[in-house]
Structure 1
């Protein structure tokens, strides 16, 4: 039985979500920009209503009284674009911090904009579908199109590209909560923010939350048939009466507010729940990469060079997949090293070795005629460990100071060289602790240690093959 299955059964038995992590593994901005919205089913470019803003108690209510009216549609999108561009403009610094220059103590915490939405569907609607629609608009050809719309489309398309493992520029709260808590419901039901949050914060309201109005982006058909249809009729009647356009707008705003207010509060409550966890060690490092990506994009926007291809080239796809693979591996490694509760899942699956150090032989016997003897470590595993001989594991040591005065965390590479009848595992040092001056990095006897399968990160240039794989090549023409 995997540890995730055990946590799920425990959550069902206790009728309450069980923590999957003991630390927060996402960067939380001080003032995120929260967006909750609905759009017309089948028409992502026609929003019914949007709540947005960076203040919990002062959301901006944007309502389309008649979404089938193109003038009303562009007015709604323009109002949202102005709010989004105004928020992002606060973070558009003239120059980006250089990786080589380092980071001053005054700016130790990265400062990045952050788009927070209830679920992954809303993130896809805003960043991918709405960004694709807005970024190609040409205001000079249509007076109804505001110049703010293509700028907002460029920003949303950038956020869509940054929805990669470890990035914190866009947070879908259902994904963030699932990363840190295990509920007793099916994974597909975790896409409902209300029920997922109820498992974590208010277990006595789980059944009520499951029947709540979904948090967008496509509205509930029953709500649309009963509530929004009536509101549209009232809006059109009030708009046709001279001197009452303000009443029409208030009617539409009240309808949108009543529908989206629960999701708005749920997003902020989810942020509070995640913020209660201590921040993991590598979070700031990943957020620093997000900061560099954002400033590069902001510079392209200032120079009117924020171009996006409708269909990426084969080389771009190849590099993107390589980037996803690299970021996924880095995120798994960093989360496991930062969080003992996540490392426990790797131990339970048999990928990592956890146990008590029985003895350490700093002057081990040489192997295959090598002159330099290699230290040997004997481990009594906490769980049966059956990885084959020759498997490499890494022991991550305490932080040291390099010759340049910078803090570093060396990793000792070991190889499984034996299993005895009592279950003792023999590990032979391969690198980073062979010399006598580095023997201090070896684990001490009678201590419990973890040997992980995560290789330390190394810089690898973007190696492009001479011939792209067949999956990335266009079909040859006859």
Structure 2
């Protein structure tokens, strides 16, 4: 927990009301999302009990399993779920596309102008979909125990959605608990924040409302043990369980409070101004969606049960790069997030006192434009000469620290600028900070991180998926 978040949590506890910890929304919120609330049966490994889903707050649809232990009923439920979810997911792949320049404008690729967004209540809901996808994407449509073709297709979609949820900054499969906790903090513990009803009540009603919400229904996918023992078990074991009418009525009553809270949470998030870099991350999501739709149309093979060694290493690197990029983008978009880095010395703000915009460096093979500016700051400066800094206002421009001179009120930092000023020996207007401009500088950077070179799987040892080593007869080796 950061210093400012800890302070906000203490203030929330003192005032009995959640406190904002962001000034902008760091997440894309779709105009027409699919809200999906899964519920699993306790004591059974990923046995679906019910799902409440829909694209409108006024039109929830309940899918329930009257006997979760019955294999046939479970796959009938999965087929019904596929009929409800897959058309929504695939519909965006039937829309218009846009051309995106690649290879510095020498070529173009196409992606869909929109993509789906599926909201679940909490991280457990995303895990439920991941496990459901794993258990359905390899199901056969012929032979023993066949399933409709929509079932393995649903498994592939859910597996892909769950994979996107692991990418920091992705908005394809967001969960309400993490989305709210990213923008508000409460006066309770992080474990208590995992309860959607309590977290939502802290934001909308305060601590007193949160205490009442704690006694309310959970948001799944696990059910409350008391509910299981006193209400659910008798309904499942009753003689009329095959009709499912009584069970469906109870499950609908259990899930409706979460349904209403999730839609209200989307309204709360939409009320926040969107961060400047949220759109670029949604563009990346649309790229991923377009690529997966193309895979389904061209190949259609399900995702492997597990990644090979090389694929796993490459995926880990992509996730690490995405996490670093997401942290930088949040700081660049939000002054409140950047304030954390200013506290740790990774950023500082100051005023430009001197600027030489036409300075030319001719010590190399050819002259280059290298303006210098002096920034006076009253904040602690914990960077050494030679360090590279970036300003969120000019992310493509680098500022090299030439010197840091202490002053009675702080420090004077001399910087040499490069990049983001055009290709000529005269800087484009506004590209060099002017005297009097307030400038924020940080060691954070959005610069592209090239991926590592991984070997071909065939070139790895057999312990990592490559070919087995040649067998050598010990007797021949001795001879």
- Do the structures match in fold with TM over 0.5? yes
Task: Tell me the C-alpha RMSD between the 2 structures.
Answer: 3.1
Please give the alpha-carbon distance, in whole angstroms, between the structure 1 residues aligned to 2:67 and 2:172. Answer: 32
Who is 1:390 aligned against? Answer: 386
Q: What are the equivalent positions in structure 2 for 1:306-321 lying under 5 Å apart?
A: 306-321=301-316
Question: Displacement, 1:462?
Answer: 5.8
Who is 1:354 aligned against? Answer: 349
SS of residue matched to 1:160: helix
Asked whether the equivalents of residues 18 and 183 of structure 1 are also in contact (C-alpha less than 8 Å), the reply is: yes
Establish whether residue 208 from structure 1 lines up as the match of residue 203 from structure 2.
Answer: no
Asked whether the equivalents of residues 74 and 144 of structure 1 are also in contact (C-alpha less than 8 Å), the reply is: no
SS of residue matched to 1:305: coil
Please give the alpha-carbon distance, in whole angstroms, between the structure 1 residues aligned to 2:431 and 2:163. Answer: 40
Establish whether residue 254 from structure 1 lines up as the match of residue 258 from structure 2.
Answer: no
Asked whether the equivalents of residues 44 and 130 of structure 1 are also in contact (C-alpha less than 8 Å), the reply is: no
Asked whether the equivalents of residues 39 and 49 of structure 2 are also in contact (C-alpha less than 8 Å), the reply is: yes
Q: What are the equivalent positions in structure 2 for 1:57-76 lying under 5 Å apart?
A: 57-76=58-77
Who is 1:455 aligned against? Answer: 445
Asked whether the equivalents of residues 112 and 286 of structure 2 are also in contact (C-alpha less than 8 Å), the reply is: no
Please give the alpha-carbon distance, in whole angstroms, between the structure 2 residues aligned to 1:23 and 1:256. Answer: 36
Question: Displacement, 1:301?
Answer: 2.0
CA gap 1:392/1:410 in 2 versus in 1, 3 angstroms: closer
Establish whether residue 122 from structure 1 lines up as the match of residue 125 from structure 2.
Answer: yes
SS of residue matched to 2:174: strand
Establish whether residue 427 from structure 1 lines up as the match of residue 427 from structure 2.
Answer: no
Asked whether the equivalents of residues 364 and 373 of structure 1 are also in contact (C-alpha less than 8 Å), the reply is: yes
Establish whether residue 112 from structure 1 lines up as the match of residue 112 from structure 2.
Answer: no
Q: Which moved more, 1:135-144 or 1:344-353?
A: 135-144
Establish whether residue 325 from structure 1 lines up as the match of residue 320 from structure 2.
Answer: yes
Who is 2:185 aligned against? Answer: 182
Asked whether the equivalents of residues 360 and 425 of structure 2 are also in contact (C-alpha less than 8 Å), the reply is: no
Asked whether the equivalents of residues 352 and 433 of structure 2 are also in contact (C-alpha less than 8 Å), the reply is: yes
Establish whether residue 343 from structure 1 lines up as the match of residue 338 from structure 2.
Answer: yes
Q: Which moved more, 1:91-100 or 1:299-308?
A: 91-100
Question: Displacement, 1:355?
Answer: 2.3
Establish whether residue 378 from structure 1 lines up as the match of residue 374 from structure 2.
Answer: yes
**Which of these residues, 287, 290, 300, is aligned with residue 292 of structure 1?**
287
CA gap 1:359/1:294 in 2 versus in 1, 3 angstroms: same
Please give the alpha-carbon distance, in whole angstroms, between the structure 1 residues aligned to 2:339 and 2:209. Answer: 31
CA gap 1:369/1:253 in 2 versus in 1, 3 angstroms: closer
Establish whether residue 415 from structure 1 lines up as the match of residue 411 from structure 2.
Answer: no
Please give the alpha-carbon distance, in whole angstroms, between the structure 1 residues aligned to 2:50 and 2:456. Answer: 50
Who is 1:218 aligned against? Answer: 222
Question: Displacement, 1:387?
Answer: 2.5
Asked whether the equivalents of residues 24 and 274 of structure 2 are also in contact (C-alpha less than 8 Å), the reply is: yes
Question: Displacement, 1:359?
Answer: 3.1
CA gap 1:16/1:250 in 2 versus in 1, 3 angstroms: same
SS of residue matched to 1:162: helix
Q: Structure 1: which 5+ residue stretches go unaligned?
A: 240-244, 399-408
CA gap 1:452/1:359 in 2 versus in 1, 3 angstroms: same
Who is 1:135 aligned against? Answer: 137
Who is 1:80 aligned against? Answer: 81
Asked whether the equivalents of residues 413 and 429 of structure 1 are also in contact (C-alpha less than 8 Å), the reply is: yes
SS of residue matched to 1:325: helix
Establish whether residue 191 from structure 1 lines up as the match of residue 187 from structure 2.
Answer: no
CA gap 1:27/1:136 in 2 versus in 1, 3 angstroms: same
Question: Displacement, 1:339?
Answer: 1.9
Q: What are the equivalent positions in structure 2 for 1:16-165 lying under 5 Å apart?
A: 16-93=17-94, 97-100=98-101, 110-126=113-129, 128-143=130-145, 145-163=147-165, 164-165=167-168
Asked whether the equivalents of residues 45 and 133 of structure 1 are also in contact (C-alpha less than 8 Å), the reply is: no
What is the aligned length?
453
SS of residue matched to 1:49: strand
Asked whether the equivalents of residues 174 and 193 of structure 1 are also in contact (C-alpha less than 8 Å), the reply is: yes
Please give the alpha-carbon distance, in whole angstroms, between the structure 2 residues aligned to 1:117 and 1:373. Answer: 52
CA gap 1:11/1:380 in 2 versus in 1, 3 angstroms: farther
What is the TM-score normalised by the length of structure 1? 0.85
Question: Deviations 1:76-122 (Å, cap 9, x if unpaired)?
Answer: 222112111122231222886442289xxxx9994111110000011
Question: Displacement, 1:469?
Answer: 11
CA gap 1:109/1:453 in 2 versus in 1, 3 angstroms: farther
Establish whether residue 237 from structure 1 lines up as the match of residue 223 from structure 2.
Answer: no
